[in-house]
Amino acid sequence: MEGSQSTEVAHDIAQHREHATERGAQPDRVLSAVEAILLAVVALTGAWSGYGAAKWGTEARIKLAQSASTRAMANRAQLTAVDLRNFDSSTFEAWFTAYTVGNQTAMTIAEHRFRPEFRVAFDAWRATSPETNPAAPPGPTYMPQYVQPGLAQAQQLDDQATQQFNQGTSASSTSDDYIRVTLFLASVLFIVGISTQFGGSGIRYALVGLGVVLLAGSLVSLSQLPRPPA
């Protein structure tokens, strides 16, 4: 009789243990599924974030290179404009020297060397009667008719180079933002990875919860960043 009761008690204890094991295994299976889903989302998001960082990094390098090239073109245009102004000044000095000594032939030769753009300013300056008008400008290069296309081109190129530089700086900053998000995603992978080393469900839930929070923050940050350039 006592043996029969002992057998029944042992049977009841075994059943209780089996039910307890099943109840403990259910949360573990759910937790494992959550971890697997979290890892999958992080992997895809991390790939997208890395792609964005690479594309914006390339865009930054391209824009900065274009800025340097355009700036060099602006400098060349500026130097060309300076050279042309020096040429105009030299031809005018030759004319003025001939004028002061009354050498009409030398004056005519000097005028033949005038550039068309300078000739317009020269004629406008002569019309002010500089010989008798003390208010006349000192020379043709001081006239509003004196235009230097090279200077306008240099200014345009310089403005373009500045714009390209700003675009490159902005692209570089965006690339850094994508890299920052990638680092947060890497932290999520680390947290979820070490959570599997703990046997207690409480610690695992806490780590997975932290990973979910970091992932949510990363997704919000990514949604606010500009899309990678084509």
Q: What mean pLDDT is predicted for residues 92-104?
A: 94
What pTM did the predictor assign? 0.69
- CA angle 224/228/229 to nearest 5° reads 130
- CA angle 115/71/171 to nearest 5° reads 150
Q: What mean pLDDT is predicted for residues 74-85?
A: 92
Confidence of residue 31 (pLDDT cuts 50, 70, 90): confident
Q: What mean pLDDT is predicted for residues 27-41?
A: 82
Q: What percent of the chain has pLDDT over 90?
A: 66
**16 in a structural domain:** no
- 99-155 tens-digit pLDDT: 999 999 999 999 999 999 999 999 999 999 998 999 999 999 999 999 887 888 999
Number of neighbours of residue 101 by Cβ within 10 angstroms:
8
**4 in a structural domain:** no
User: What integer pLDDT is reported at residue 36 of this predicted model?
Assistant: 87
Confidence of residue 200 (pLDDT cuts 50, 70, 90): low
**61 in a structural domain:** yes
**72 in a structural domain:** yes
The amino acid at residue 67 is S
Structure token pair of residue 62: 């391209």
Which structural domain range is residue 71 located in?
A: 29-224
More confident residue, 8 or 117: 117
**123 in a structural domain:** yes
What does the alpha-carbon distance between residue 74 and residue 82 come to, in Å, rounded to a whole number?
12
- 188-198 tens-digit pLDDT: 988 888 887 77
**17 in a structural domain:** no
Residue 2 has pLDDT above 80, yes or no: no
Q: Provide the number of structural domains found in the chain.
A: 1
